[in-house]
Each structure stands twice: as structure tokens, then as C-alpha cells.
Structure 1
Amino acid sequence: MSSGVEAEIVLDMAVVLTLGMNRVLGRGAGIAGRGAEALAALAEGRAETRTAALAEVETQERALREVVARNARIAALAETRDRLGADVALPPELPPDERPAEELTQWCAATDQLLDEAERRLSEHVAAEVTAQVFAVPAQRLQADTTQKPRRPKPEDDESAEDVQRNLARIMARLLPDADDDERRTVAEAARLLAEIGTPDEAEAVLHEVRLRIQDANSRTQQRRDDELRRLAERDAAEQAEAERRYVLDSITAAFEDLGYEVQAGFETLTAGDGTVTLTKGAWPDHSVRMRVDDAAHVRASMVRERPAENEDDRRVDVEREREWCAEFEDARTRLEAAGIRSDVAWRLDPGVRELPVSAGSRHTRTRAGQRERSRERPT
């Protein structure tokens, strides 16, 4: 390996899960608790201990995610409740913390029942509002023949009207409470036709139309729910990927600093977060290593010169630096593996195979480029 090396990175599952828990708990990237125990067991070859520790990490991480999902549902139902002006109690959110996974799971199960009941009551609130609007003004009684002259309502007419009202309330309760205003309005418009019907058949036709509109409204509402879940999943995946990339970059920085390197973040890291760093040593006045971590999946490193090689002695020093870097890169790989970062070298060059490139940002390169530019500007 000389001026270039590329390696594939694989993060241990203990690292991945622990980073996920740290994000939920609001902590910086790091390995602690069972995640650290699982890594230690991996390093020491204790397969049984590692399996048990990793299973506990997975259980805890899954329980925390379930808590976050319930908290999101509580917040969504609270927003719907406030929009509807409904008097419906909701359970308080549970801050994710390090309480046992079993306790978190029990809270989720109990909360699911409360949320299902709250959603049902919110739907009933919408149904009651629409039903009250439809039957607020005394409507024409159901009649078998609308051409007949008005007659005194019979008891069975009252029973028919009550049946229609009950059926409407029952059907309206199927409307999801977070249907938007336009969808609720469309359903209500169909329901209001009941105030104008005259026969049981007409009532059934209107109720059937209400059912169809509720189905359409619920379908669109469910699609919005699914879209929001997808956006949340994409955001979570992006945040997890960034946490993994940052963990790899921080671990690489720590490993090479332990080996005596000075690690400097590149300008791109401060602006675009592309994971570029420069490794230098006090004993390397003319050499440095540019390293880049791509999406916590690839690492690329390239040794460069700060000034062009001028003679064979410079080239001999190049080979020495390449050999030194090669050995220390392998040492760093061992240190990173202990931190749960395995790297499989996909491409490398042996020391001395090719001439080292000169850093594009070096003073000598800029000077020569300026000289060439000035030379082009001279009149012939």
C-alpha cells in the first residue's frame, strides 16, 4: 500500500444498535452498557456472552423505538383533538430512558388500548357533530308516498327516523378522526341529504353514499398516515447513517491520534460533512495522508507529498514513509476492530509502485501554478 488504499467498512451490530439507542436517548455517539459488553465479548471470543449481550441490546433498542412510535401517535391524536375541539383524554407521553425493556413494553401495550379508545371517541365526536347538524332542523318524515298530502306522523315514522339517525351515527363513527376538513365536509354533504328524503329506500341510498365517501376519505387519510411514516423512516435512516458515519470518523481520528498523527478536518467536513481528514506527523515535514469516509461504508486514503520530489533521496524517503504508513494503517485497523469497525481492504498499492502525487493545496503546487499562469500572460 503506498499512495492509495480503499477499504470496505462493516459496523458491528452492537455499534449500530447502540448508536440508535443513543439517538433516541439524546446522547452523542458512543458505546456503553450492553453494547460495550457485546464488543468486549467479540474481542475475547466469548460467543455465548456476546450473543446474550447483543440480544439484550436488540430488545432494549426495539422497546425504545416502540415508545417513540407511541409518543408520536399521542402527539398526532392531541393535534386532532385540539382541531376538533373534543374533550377526549389522552395518556401522557413517556420520555425514552434507560428503564428496563420489559417496563417499556408494558407501557406500550397499556398505551395502545388507551389510544385506540381515544381514537374511537374522537371518531364518535365527529359522528355526533355531523348527525346533530343533519337532524338539527325537523325534517320531512319518512313517507311511503311523497305525493300524498301531509298526514299526522305515525309512531312507526318516528321509529324509522330514529333508525336512520342511529344508522348515520354508526356509519359516521367509521370516519377516521384525522380526516382533513375537505374530506369531512364531503361526507357531511352526503349525510345532509337525509334531511330531504321521504322513503326508507331513499334513506338507504343516502347512507350507502355516505359509506362510500367515508371509505374514500379513510383511504386518503390512511395514505397520508403511510406517507408520514415513510418520511419519518427516511429521516430516521438518514440520521442513523450520519451517526454511523460520524462514529467511524471519530473512531478513525482517535485511532490515528493514538498512533502519533495529527488529524485535521478538511474544509469540506465543516461545510458539507463529507468526512475528509488530513493526517500529518511532526516527523513528516513533506508528507501527509488524505483520508475520506463515505457513508460509513468506505474509507479511502491517499499519501501525498507537500512538495515535488527532486531527487532519488526524496524518492527513497517516499518509500520509507509509505512502509511506515502501511504498518500503522494495519495497526489502526486492529484498533478500529476493537471499536466494532471491521475494514476489508478492497484495493492497495505496494510501497514504491508509483510516484507520490503532490498535494493540490501545497505551497509549492500553488507557486508553480502561478508561475505557469504568469508565463501564459507574458507577451510573445
Structure 2
Amino acid sequence: MSSGIDADIALDAAVVLSLGMNRVLGRGAGLAGRGAEALAALAAGRAEARAAALAEVESHERALREVVERNARIEALAETRAKIGAEVPLPDALRPDEQSPDELTAWCAATDRALDEAERHLSEHLAAQVSAQIFAVPAEGLVAGTVPGTPPPGDEDVQRNLERIMTRLLPDAADAERRAVAEAAGLLAGAGTAEEAEGVLQEVRLRIQAANRRTEERRAQERRAAAERDAAEQAEAERRYVLGSITAAFEDMGYEVHAGFETLTAEDGTVTLTKGAWPDHSVRMRVDDAAHVRASMVRERPAESEDDRRVDVEREREWCEAFEAARDRLADAGIRSDVAWRLEPGVRELPVSARPRQTKGRAGQRERHRERHN
């Protein structure tokens, strides 16, 4: 944009953390209680109160993230349990609401123990399935791809060793990985000597190691994907917060704020500011990723006289003053802006808007603003 202002944006830590908490809790864009207290303390210059409130927000947000991770693990193990047909109890997922950080942390610790126990039982169940099929013991839900046959010499010891080795296989290994392990174990049916049986067990060990490695890689990939989704959702929440705060600030100063779409959540983050006393002028503002804001005053029709250009300068000065006032309001909302570039009024002829001005009234804009923050 030309003939305007270019500023960098930085969100206060209380805003960032509170928006993250609100996403986990499933609430709207309004700040969580302690986050709002931290902002109020910041505005009042009460450093000690702010530090205490912010520390509590950080602790709560961290605990909520831990809960989200445990809930994801519960869901993954439930899928594994259904896939292998095991009857293994799992803890219920937690829907955090009014719990304190200490309560959430205690739940996570207890859930970790329960999930470790459940994972161990799932691995034992899978090991018993494969062992039962290899040694022709009837069982339900056996792993496909193995052929029962004559037990090898010392079959009881071999069976115990197989079950012990099989318990190392992660229960959420992919179907192909489990089949590869089961196929190797199936070779025990043809082992005629203890040495041959040991050779087969060694192959089972190697395949389990490979299966576990690939399973861990998949888990890590899923964690990275979840982190990327979380980062994208956080960025969107921050962008919505900045747009909503900008809207509120300028509406309170008598401007009408319009978007090119039905709401202020347009993908490009562009809004238009107008005033009833500005028949020929408006301001185009664009917010990029809640980190950068650019604004430019434009004309609705070409300037035709010196008087038009004089009015342009007056409107530009008015807009610059309004922007500075808005910066103070945004600072109270935890949005700091540092002007990187500014074009002073009258330096350049105002560009003419290529898009017609929208006519939605201020009441409609305020109604949408309230909806976003409820």
C-alpha cells in the first residue's frame, strides 16, 4: 500500500497464552481470567501483580497442553485395542474446565501410569495371539499370515521365549509390520532343532526392532503434524484477536469497519475504515499473520481541484492522529505496534480506490464484533 503507515505488531505473552487456553477449553476469543488480569496489571504498571498473573497463566496453559497430549494417546490406544480385539481398560479422556493447574498435572501423572499399563497389556495380548497361532492353540482374533505346524524341540521354552520377545512389539505397529513379525514367528513351525528355533527367534527380534523403529517414526511424524496444526490454529486465533481489537478500537472512535467478506475473518486480513464525514475517503488496512499491519488512505473518486487536495491532507492528518490513538487502545489490549515506515500527509497524491465502498452500517459491524467475542 502507498501513502500510509507500515507497523510491526507484537502480542503480549498474556494474550498469546490466553488464546491458547481458550482454544483448548473451546471458548471464544475473549481472554481467560488470569490473562486479563495480567493485561490489566501491565496497563497499570504493576509489575509484581503482572508477573504473578502471567506465571499462573503459563502454568495453566502448560498443564492444558499436557492434557491434550494424554487425550490423544488415549484415543490412539483405543483404536489399537479395537483393532486387535483386546479387552484392556483405558482411562477416560478429560474435558478440562475449572480444574486448577495442580489438578490437571495430577490427572496427567495418574493417566500416564494407567496408559503405560494399558500399553503393556495390549502388547502382551498381541504376543499371546501370535504365540497361540504358531503353536496351534485356539484363540480368537489371531493375526493373519501365520501357519500352525509341528512345535519345534523344547516347544515350551520356545513358546515362552517367543511370548517374551513379542511383548516388545509396540501395540500400535501398523498392520504390515505386525504381519511381517508374525510371518517370521511362523517359521518356528518348521524349526527342527533348538538352533534353528533360536535363529527364527533372532529374526523375530530383528523384525520387531524394525517395526518399533518405524512405529516411533510414525508417532513422531504425527506429533509434528499435530504441532503444525496447533501452530496454525494459534496463528488464526491471534489474527482474529488482532482484527477484532482493531475493529473495536476504531469503531469506538467513530469509524465504520468493513471487510470484503461477511466477517472480519477474511483470509487476506483486509478491512476498510470509513466515516460518515468522509464521503470521498477511506482507509484500507491489512493485517498479515497478526505480526504486521499496513494502512493507506485512498480516494473514492479522483481529486479534481486544489480544494480536493487540501481536504486530502486534512483527512490524512486526521487519520494519522486516529492511528496513534488506536495504538494506545491496542496496547491496553496487549497489542504493541512499532511503526517501521510512515508517509507524512500531503507528501504523495492519494491513490483512487479500485473497489466501491461498502455500505453496511456500524450497527451491523458492532453486532458481528460482539458475536466474535461471545
Q: 1:79 is matched with which residue? A: 79
| TM alignment of 1:1-380, pairs within 5 A | 3-136=3-136, 139=150, 141-142=152-153, 160-267=154-261, 272-362=266-356
Which amino acid in 1 is paired with 2:44?
Answer: E
In structure 2, relative to structure 1, the CA distance for the partners of 1:287 and 1:296 (3 Å cut) is same
What is the deviation of 1:224?
A: 1.2
1:55-79 CA deviation, whole Å, 9 max, x = no partner? 0000001111111111111111011
Q: Which amino acid aligns with 1:124?
A: E
Contact 2:152 2:197 in 1 (8 A): no
Q: Distance in 2 between matches of 1:138 and 1:313?
A: 101
1:264 counterpart letter in structure 2: H
Cα pair 2:264 2:271 within 8 Å, conserved: no
Q: Give the corresponding residue for 2:370.
A: none
The Cα of 1:270 is off from its aligned counterpart by 7.1
Q: CA deviation at 1:332?
A: 0.1
The equivalent residue for 2:361 is: none
Deviation at 1:98, TM superposition (A): 2.4
Percent identity over paired residues? 78
- Which amino acid in the other structure matches residue 10 of structure 2? V
Deviation string, structure 1 residues 273-300 (Cα, Å, up to 9, x no partner): 2111100000111110000111001101
Q: Cα 1:296–1:285, aligned 2, differ >3 Å: closer, same or farther?
A: same
**How far off its partner does 1:196 sit?**
1.5
- Change in Cα spacing, 1:302 to 1:134, as seen in structure 2 (3 Å) is same
- Give the conservation status (yes or no) of the 8 Å contact 2:151–2:188: no
Off by >4 Å, runs of 4+ in structure 1? 268-272
Equivalent residues of 1:268, 1:274 under 8 A apart: no
Give 2:34's aligned amino acid: R
Counterpart CA distance in 1 for 2:348 and 2:231 is 40
What is the CA–CA distance in structure 1 between the aligned matches of 2:179 and 2:31, rounded to whole Å? 52
Larger radius of gyration: 1
Distance 1:141 1:292, change over 3 A: closer
Structure 2 vs 1, CA of residues 320 and 88 (structure 1 numbering), >3 Å: closer, same or farther?
same
Q: Deviation at 1:141?
A: 4.5
Contact persistence 1:68–1:96 (CA under 8 A): no
RMSD: 1.6
What CA distance in whole angstroms lies between the structure 2 residues aligned with 1:14 and 1:34? 8
**CA-to-aligned-CA distance 1:5-55 (integer Å, 9 cap, x gap):** 110000000000000000011111121311011111111111111111100
Check conservation: 1:74, 1:115, Cα contact below 8 A: yes
Whichever residue aligns with residue 259 of structure 2, its letter is A
- The alpha-carbon deviation at position 183 of structure 1 amounts to 1.0
Match of 2:344, SS?
coil
Contact 2:240 / 2:265 at 8 angstroms: preserved in 1? no
Q: Which runs of 5+ in 1 are unaligned?
A: 143-159, 364-380
Contact 1:126–1:173 (Cα < 8 Å) also in 2: yes
Which stretch shows the higher mean deviation, 52-61 or 91-100? 91-100
CA distance in 2 between counterparts of 1:46 and 1:198 reads 81
TM superposition shift of 1:269: 6.5
Cα offset for 1:197?
1.1
Q: Confirm or deny: 8 A CA contact 2:260 2:266 kept in the other structure.
A: no
SS at match of 2:339: strand
SS in 2 for 1:343: strand
Q: Deviations over 1:286-324 (max 9, x none)?
A: 110000111001101000011111111111111111111
The alignment of Structure 1 onto Structure 2 pairs a total of residues equal to 346
Q: Are 1:268 and 1:276, in contact at CA under 8 Å, matched by a contact in 2? A: no
